[in-house]
């Protein structure tokens, strides 16, 4: 079947229409004319792969990664970066205007990633006889020797990991600080491994090694510097994977917060306390909530090492803990996981009635859903998309909401 690709879908696949079908075509770009083979058909929707290109897009580039065809990590490396950015901006506009009822002019230009390669401070390697990443749509592994989007320090560590016997190892997470000074290897196994021989290979090349939650050497954490702040990170604590872009994102949160020194700020879903501590210099008081126990330990440590004495972190579920805080926040920052906000938290945000809400989101669909609900009481002033995940279809967004003036007659 010969089709012309109209546009990209939200996962970076080409969309074509033919014979009453909407067809999602892997690795096909807008304007391309391709010969396809259907791989799955369900009522009026089909998936397909390209057999032959009849006309290629001028925006197509040769992916630099030798594993790109198989590896499931990246989705857009065959598209030049300018067009990747354009696609991301259009995607956010489409989702937020359509599902979130956000006015298009409120959505700003995407903040670009100045370091489109070697930017990720974390890699999750899967191990099953081979060491690498999951293949596209599969739990099979593509063995890799280096990755073009992870920090060079992680590639350096990968070379040492490749020297290990992989028997009984199931997963290896590697994290590095942006300057490469701190790094950790976190291993999971399903049987005995020789900790001593792993230690011998890795010692001197990583600052800490953890096997099945036991610290084999080092202090079990790494430290990341962001401007004048330092953050301790444990293996299970969330931390933005693109440090340089995360600094820009937090600066946008600070700008949107418009702090004067008098404000009480809530930092909900605070992780290791990054946003709250970033804002603490300009706020009267900051209160953070986080459910992950390791992250809250990091957050409390980070409060100390950054001398942020006006910050208090509470461990617990936001939707429960928020009821217990007896404060009247002026600014609330929310940075939930992909699932977005639950309905009770949305109701509480409306009840708390803070002047501003800043919503940081890694999932535009749940962001759109939540913004629609919040618009009863809040006006969407501005949304800034950030490219934290170049070569993938993911986009991070920071959104400023301001309380509406509601006249009570």
Q: Which residues bind ligand SAM (CB under 6 A)?
A: 238-240, 269-272, 274-275, 289-292, 295, 317-319, 335-337, 362
Per-residue burial over 371-385, b if 16 or more Cβ lie within 10 Å, else e, is bebbeebbebebbbb
Helix (H, G, I), strand (E, B), or coil: what is residue 293?
helix
Q: Which is nearer to ligand SAM, 265 or 289 (CB)?
A: 289
Q: How far is the CB of 199 from ligand SAM (least distance, A)?
A: 30
The β-bridge partners of 250 are none
- The token pair that represents 98 in the structure block: 């359509």
Helix (H, G, I), strand (E, B), or coil: what is residue 79?
strand
Residues 382, 358 contacting (CB under 8 angstroms): no
Q: How far is the CB of 376 from ligand SAM (least distance, A)?
A: 23
Q: Which is nearer to ligand SAM, 274 or 390 (CB)?
A: 274
Residues 125, 132 contacting (CB under 8 angstroms): yes
Q: How far is the CB of 26 from ligand SAM (least distance, A)?
A: 28
Residues 120, 150 contacting (CB under 8 angstroms): yes
Q: Which is nearer to ligand SAM, 27 or 361 (CB)?
A: 361
Q: Which is nearer to ligand SAM, 264 or 295 (CB)?
A: 295
**In whole angstroms, how far apart are CA 312 and each of 135, 257, 304?**
43, 18, 11
Q: How far is the CB of 339 from ligand SAM (least distance, A)?
A: 8
Q: How far is the CB of 29 from ligand SAM (least distance, A)?
A: 31
Q: How far is the CB of 370 from ligand SAM (least distance, A)?
A: 14
Residue from 384, 357, 386, 385 nearest 373 by CA: 357
Q: How far is the CB of 93 from ligand SAM (least distance, A)?
A: 22
Q: Which is nearer to ligand SAM, 67 or 256 (CB)?
A: 256
Q: Which of 65, 71, 74, 362 is catalytic?
A: 362
The β-bridge partners of 267 are 288, 333
**In whole angstroms, how far apart are CA 259 and each of 141, 255, 282, 285, 373?**
48, 8, 6, 11, 26
**Calpha distance 328→115 (Å, rounded):** 40
**Calpha distance 140→128 (Å, rounded):** 8
Residue from 242, 185, 231 nearest 212 by CA: 185
Residues 403, 378 contacting (CB under 8 angstroms): yes
**Calpha distance 253→75 (Å, rounded):** 28
Q: Which is nearer to ligand SAM, 4 or 321 (CB)?
A: 321
End-to-end CA distance of the chain: 64
Active site residue 71: no
The alpha carbon dihedral of 105, 106, 112, 118 has a sign of negative
Q: How far is the CB of 345 from ligand SAM (least distance, A)?
A: 8
Q: Which is nearer to ligand SAM, 330 or 335 (CB)?
A: 335
**Calpha distance 277→317 (Å, rounded):** 20
Q: Which is nearer to ligand SAM, 289 or 368 (CB)?
A: 289
**Calpha distance 22→43 (Å, rounded):** 10
Residues carrying an active site annotation:
362
């Amino acid at each position: 079947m010969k089709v012309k690709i109209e546009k990209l879908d939200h996962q970076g696949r080409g969309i074509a229409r033919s014979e009453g079908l909407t067809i999602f075509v892997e690795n096909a770009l807008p304007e391309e004319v391709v010969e396809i083979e259907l791989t799955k058909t369900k009522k009026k929707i089909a998936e397909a792969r390209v057999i032959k290109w009849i006309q290629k897009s001028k925006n197509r580039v040769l992916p630099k990664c030798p594993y790109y065809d198989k590896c499931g990590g990246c989705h857009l490396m065959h598209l030049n970066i300018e067009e990747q950015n354009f696609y991301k901006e259009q995607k956010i506009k489409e989702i937020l205007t359509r599902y979130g009822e956000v006015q298009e002019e409120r959505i700003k230009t995407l903040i670009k990633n100045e370091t489109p390669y070697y930017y990720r401070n974390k890699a999750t390697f899967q191990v099953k006889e081979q060491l690498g990443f999951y293949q596209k749509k599969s739990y099979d592994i593509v063995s890799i020797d280096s990755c073009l989007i992870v920090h060079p320090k992680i590639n350096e560590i990968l070379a040492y990991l490749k020297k290990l016997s992989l028997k009984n190892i199931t997963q290896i997470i590697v994290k590095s600080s942006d300057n490469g000074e701190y790094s950790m290897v976190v291993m999971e196994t399903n049987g005995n491994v020789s900790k001593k021989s792993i230690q011998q290979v890795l010692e001197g090349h990583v600052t800490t090694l953890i096997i099945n939650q036991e610290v084999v050497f080092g202090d079990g954490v790494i430290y990341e510097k962001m401007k004048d702040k330092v953050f301790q990170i444990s293996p299970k604590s969330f931390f933005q994977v693109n440090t340089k872009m995360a600094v820009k994102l937090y600066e946008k949160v600070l700008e949107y917060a418009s702090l004067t020194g008098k404000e009480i700020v809530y930092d909900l879903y605070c992780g290791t306390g990054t946003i709250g501590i970033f804002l603490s210099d300009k706020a009267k008081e900051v209160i953070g909530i986080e459910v992950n126990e390791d992250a809250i330990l990091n957050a409390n440590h980070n409060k100390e090492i950054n001398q942020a004495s006006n910050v208090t972190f509470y461990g617990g579920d936001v939707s429960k803990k928020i009821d217990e805080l007896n404060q009247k926040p002026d600014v609330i920052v929310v940075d939930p996981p992909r699932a977005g906000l639950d309905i009770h938290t949305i109701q509480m945000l409306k009840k708390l009635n803070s002047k501003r809400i800043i919503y940081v989101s890694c999932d535009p669909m749940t962001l759109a859903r939540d913004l629609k609900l919040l618009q009863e009481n809040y006006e969407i002033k501005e949304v800034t998309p950030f490219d934290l995940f170049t070569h993938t279809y993911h986009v991070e967004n920071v959104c400023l909401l301001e309380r509406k003036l509601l006249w009570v007659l």
